[in-house]
Amino acid sequence: MRLPHQIDPFRLAEAGTQLSGHLPLRQFSRLRELLADDSGEIAVKLDFEVDELGVPIVLGKVSARLSLTCQRCLGAFAYPVDAQIALAWIKTAQEADKLPLRYEPYLVEETPLQLNDVIEDELLLALPQIPMHELAECPASKLLKQSDKRTGEPEQKANPFSVLAKLKQEK
């Protein structure tokens, strides 16, 4: 199914609309800057509804396999993203204080809202701060092991309180 570019989240919530589909990674400019390769797509499933308190919300999931650059070896690796979405649509910042904790507030300043911006925000939040392979899978792990062998055991640092311990033993 093709996802719309622009939405009115409040109308979709009132209507109980479900949206699902796939989007190419190439169309997310902020995310693309962080990727080693922008080929592939994102799977999106969103359920708009009004909860028991009358709050317009969207619940759903965004899934993708992103190609990131390992900061340890500078090689590309596949990073799976399976981000859960639980957003409450609000019109003013004061409404955020009244929301249940299970929802993240999303301030809608004008409608229609760009759906891609919402999805891209969720993907950016799901990325690690420092992307790296698992150590066992990283080519740089061999270099780390070699440097450990060269340096041997780490040397013991002198305890600055050892003088006090000696004085205490003399008494």
Are 46 and 19 spatial neighbours (Cβ–Cβ below 8 Å)? yes
- Which pairs count as long-range contacts for 108-113, CB under 8 Å and 24+ apart, including other chains? 108/9, 108/10, 111/8, 111/9, 111/10, 112/6, 112/7, 112/8, 113/6, 113/7, 113/8, 113/9
Instruction: Specify the pLDDT at position 1.
Output: 65
Could you tell me the CA-to-CA distances from 148 to 12, 36, 142, 144, 145 in Å, in that order? Answer: 58, 30, 10, 6, 5
The pTM assigned to this predicted structure is 0.77
Write down the pLDDT at residue 13. 96
Token readout for 138 is 């990283």
pLDDT on residue 104: 95
Can you give the pLDDT at residue 54?
Answer: 93
* pLDDT at residue 125, as a whole number: 94
pLDDT at 152 (0 to 100): 52
Q: Are 79 and 68 in contact (CB under 8 A)?
A: yes
pLDDT per 10-residue tile (average), the chain, 171 residues:
90 96 95 93 96 95 95 93 95 90 93 93 94 86 60 62 74 63
| Contact between residue 67 and residue 60 where contact means Cβ atoms under 8 Å apart | no
